[in-house]
Structure 1
Amino acid sequence: MVMSDVKTWVSAALTNDDTCMDGFGQSAGAKAAVKDLVRGHVIKVSRMTSNALALINMYASTDVH
């Protein structure tokens, strides 16, 4: 049950990474520069979250725990 909860939480975090940029909408000028900066950080977090989910899935598939 706990492992299932962890997978759900990490999967939800990954989904939230995708929707984070929706709040910026279409913008121009300085706002576009901020949006690009935030997008770079969101991509990094998304990759780390995806890697964490892969590790969790690998751990969950073992008989060690």
Structure 2
Amino acid sequence: MELGNMQTWVSAALTDEDTCVDGLEGSAMNGKVRDEIRRRVVWVAQLTSNSLALINRL
């Protein structure tokens, strides 16, 4: 696996997570459910960001 590909894929995952959180803004979903989904996606986004930082140091 090439480093450039890993950077691209992890960066794309981070973008997808941001898009997911943005999509929850206008949702008619129950507030508690929406907040829990947002909390979990933000947690995964933090992990993804950390992963990208580690990959960028390789």
TM-score bracket, shorter-length normalisation: 0.7 to 0.9
**Number of paired residues?**
57
Instruction: Using structure 2 for the length normalisation, give the TM-score.
Output: 0.86
Q: Deviations over 1:7-44 (max 9, x none)?
A: 0000000000101130562436xx11110000000110
CA distance in 1, matches of 2:10, 2:54: 11
Partner residue in 2 for 1:9: 9
Q: What does residue 63 of structure 1 align with?
A: none
Q: Output the CA distance in 2 between the equivalents of 1:35 and 1:23.
A: 7
Gap runs ≥5 in structure 1: 60-65
Give 1 or 2 for the bigger CA radius of gyration. 1
Identity %: 46
Output the aligned Cα RMSD. 1.9
Look up the match of 2:57.
Answer: 58
TM-score, length-normalised on structure 1?
Answer: 0.77
Structure 2 residue runs of 5 or longer lacking an equivalent are: none
